Amino acid sequence: MIADCHMHTSFSTDSKACPEEMIERAIALGMKEICITDHYDMDYPRNPRTGEEEFQLDTPAYQAKIRELQERYRDRIQIRFGVELGLQAHLKGQMEEYVRRWPFDFVIGSMHLLNGKDPYDCESFQDMEDREMYRAYFRATSENLRAFHEFQTLGHLDYVVRYGKSKGAEYRCGEYRDEIDEILKLLVEYQIALEVNTGGLKYGLGFPNPHPEIIRRYRELGGEMVTVGSDAHEPRHVGFGFDTAAELLREAGFQYYTQFTDKKPVFVKL
């Protein structure tokens, strides 16, 4: 099965999963390689209820744990050391320093915040129409990409759609063609992969993030690198919807997907 290159464990604020259970599940599914990518969002708004700083990552403890697991499971599965880094243009310098300092195999750059607020928190964008919010999110994604591009794949490109009032029902990605083309062209220019995140299927959108039209468009614009991730936060979602993802990728003209080791791409036949 395709290597799952996006999953979370209890090192992430929003997961209670024990890393060993995620790994065992991947092995049971027949994966030969996975990448664990716990969350790190610098300058994330504090939880208004608890006042706690969320989505911070104890990177030294995380690295030590991944090293231990790599050793323990080396005969059964390759485990890569990854991170999902929340992108915000004003943090350019800190993000550069961070990804250079730690020997990650793979960094996912993800837009979790729009104007400093998380679309996941429904109250933040109550006054904004879905279309307006989606467009603003895509524009902010290109701005972020231009500011900082030292990562290997762009996570869940149209993630914002998961949290629109109408979810995917009224989402037509063709309406944002200019904004999305801009993002895809920057990915090709900076040699950053496009992630196919099957979390969208899990959330009941009926498609992964991004929408298959966007995957096809990336290919048309010369994009060659796609990574695949379930964004699992618990063992039962590891590899979720990967058959659908493989089919979509083949239909879009891809023969290979990409894994990263030491931040270098390795192409694997689909």
Positions in the binding site for Zn ion (CB under 5 A): 84, 110, 231
The three-state secondary structure class of 116 is coil
Residue closer to Zn ion, measured from CB, 84 or 158? 84
Least distance between Zn ion and beta carbon 30 (Å): 23
Count of C-beta atoms within a 10 Å radius of residue 243: 12
Bridge-based pairing of strands 256-261 and 264-269 is antiparallel
Contact between residue 130 and residue 170 where contact means Cβ atoms under 8 Å apart: yes
Least distance between Zn ion and beta carbon 37 (Å): 6
Residue closer to Zn ion, measured from CB, 85 or 215? 85
Report the side by side order of strands in the sheet with 106-110: 33-40, 78-86, 106-110, 153-154, 193-197, 226-229
Cα separation, 230 vs 162, in Å, equals 15
For residues 109, 110, 115, 121, the Cα torsion angle rounded to the nearest 10 degrees is -150
Cα separation, 56 vs 191, in Å, equals 27
Specify which residues 106 forms β-bridges with: 82
Least distance between Zn ion and beta carbon 74 (Å): 25
Residue closer to Zn ion, measured from CB, 21 or 224? 21
Residue closer to Zn ion, measured from CB, 71 or 187? 187
Encode 218-230: b = buried (16+ Cβ within 10 Å), e = exposed: bbeeebbbbbbbb
Residue closer to Zn ion, measured from CB, 18 or 221? 18
Token readout for 263 is: 């931040």
Least distance between Zn ion and beta carbon 15 (Å): 9
Least distance between Zn ion and beta carbon 8 (Å): 6
Residue closer to Zn ion, measured from CB, 110 or 141? 110
Least distance between Zn ion and beta carbon 112 (Å): 6
